[in-house]
Amino acid sequence: MKNAITAHGATIPLIGLGTWQLSGDNCVQMVSEALKLGYRHIDTAAMYGNEVEVGDGMRASGVKREDVFLTTKVWRDNLHAKDFRGSVEASLKKLKLPYVDLILIHWPNESVPLKETLGAMAEVKRAGLAKHIGVSNFTVKLLDEAVKLSAEPIVNNQVELHPFLDQSKVIAACQKHGISVTAYCPIARGSAAGDKVLAKVGAAHGKSAAQVSLRYLVQQGIIAIPRTSKAARLKENLAALDFTLTDAEMATVHGLAHREGRVVNLAHAPAWD
């Protein structure tokens, strides 16, 4: 597949539609329109409360189920073995689909043994409810532990990632284990759009600052899942695949990372690298 990354047998399109905060008819419309435009990767989660609409949007698009890479996530309150499969089954019921392509642990939970959760994930995969398993918001230490404990290959780690946040340690750990990286908040919840450095780089290519932020990621083989509630933005985000940054431009963008760059830092977050 063009413009996709492969990890442990999973082929994941480099640009996907993130659906956090999308709801109702707008969610249905965005998912359907994205797929009609050529997106083949949709990201949702049980916690988003929009799996019904995501499934409806997929069907409304007319695109075959097997042509779409669909990710959902299990919330940290459901990581015990007795709760994990029930969460996945509930997600599938809402999606009205027999399987997802990737199931993720949405956030780590130190009160639940990781071995227990990974065992439940392996069972879900073997039962055909998910084709692949992965994690989200995992640090280097957690990744190393998960790889050691998991009976099934971990194909993805979804983390906050954009030009203002240095995640080189986590990226290196993922590469070491053959794990793909997905960037959420890839335009830093809109902050990239107003950045003068990104705008200057974009001007040389006839592209926007936000498109440069996305291009910076996908050019490194990092999957990006920008969220938008506007149909016009869907095409713009996908166009991040249509140009190439020079090595000097990549270095310039990389230089934007700073200590206060993190956008998402919830109370239950692990100790970041």
Encoded tokens for 12: 């994941």
SS3 14: coil
Q: Which amino acid is at 31?
A: V
CB 197 within 8 A of CB 186: no
Pick the CATH number of 13-188+221-230 from 3.40.50.1000, 3.20.20.100, 2.40.40.20, 3.40.50.300: 3.20.20.100
Cβ of 17: how many Cβ atoms within 10 Å? 26
CB 85 within 8 A of CB 120: yes
Q: Which amino acid is at 8?
A: H
pLDDT given at position 161 = 98
Sign of CA dihedral 3, 185, 145, 103: negative
- Angle CA(153)–CA(156)–CA(158) in degrees, nearest 5? 150
How many whole angstroms from its chain centre is CA 144? 20
First-to-last alpha carbon distance for the chain, in angstroms, is 33
Q: Tell me the pLDDT of the chain averaged across its residues.
A: 97
CB 128 within 8 A of CB 114: no
pLDDT given at position 260 = 87
| d(C-alpha 188, C-alpha 184), whole Å | 8
Q: Is the pTM for the entire model greater than 0.75? A: yes
88: left (phi over 0), alpha (psi -120 to 50) or beta: alpha
Determine whether 230 is exposed, middle or buried from the number of CB atoms within 10 Å of its CB (0-12, 13-18, 19+).
Answer: exposed
| Domain ranges within the chain, ordered by starting residue | 13-188+221-230
Question: Is 106 marked as binding a ligand?
Answer: yes
**Tens digit of pLDDT for each residue in 74-106?**
999 999 999 999 999 999 999 999 999 999 999
Give the pLDDT mean for 259-263: 91
**Tens digit of pLDDT for each residue in 22-37?**
999 999 999 999 999 9
| d(C-alpha 106, C-alpha 94), whole Å | 18
Active site residues: 48
